[in-house]
Amino acid sequence: MPRYLIVGAVLLLTTGYSYGTTIEMKVNGLVCGFCAQGIEKTFRKNPAVADVIVSLENRLVAIVTKDGQDIADADATKALKNSGYDVKSITRTDRSAAQIRDSLAKKP
């Protein structure tokens, strides 16, 4: 097998493994600090969760998963809907919790 095919296969496999470590959701219905605390508490119970960030101003809920762990989009959506929130979009990114917090701090 040619060397470039092996390298390509390894890159494809490792890229798939690291993708989606952060689930960023745009959520309607976030109105107070109590909302944020409830969401954080709900997701922190999940053993796959490393960190949770809730921004009321940006209507953002970000869940950072532990290495090798994941939460299905349907499960995250269901948890928020069961708590009375409306999930508008879900994006999977490689942004760390620190990067998300930094970007939120920079917004006016």
Say what the pLDDT of residue 21 is: 85
- Residue 2 inside a domain? The answer is no
pLDDT reading at 34 higher than 50? yes
- Of 48, 42, 15, 46, nearest in space to 27 by CA: 42
- Residue 37 inside a domain? The answer is yes
pLDDT digits (tens, 9 = 90+) for 41-95: 999 999 999 999 999 999 999 999 999 999 999 999 999 999 899 999 999 999 9
- Residue 12 inside a domain? The answer is no
- Residue 95 inside a domain? The answer is yes
* Cα–Cα distance for residue pair 29/35, rounded to 1 Å: 9
- Residue 60 inside a domain? The answer is yes
pLDDT reading at 15 higher than 70? no
pLDDT reading at 6 higher than 90? no
- Residue 28 inside a domain? The answer is yes
- Residue 83 inside a domain? The answer is yes
- Residue 43 inside a domain? The answer is yes
Alpha-carbon torsion, ordered 62, 68, 72, 76, to 10 deg: -30
Counting the structural domains of the chain, the total is 1
Range of the structural domain that residue 70 is part of? 20-106
Return the CATH number at 95: 3.30.70.100
Say what the pLDDT of residue 108 is: 65
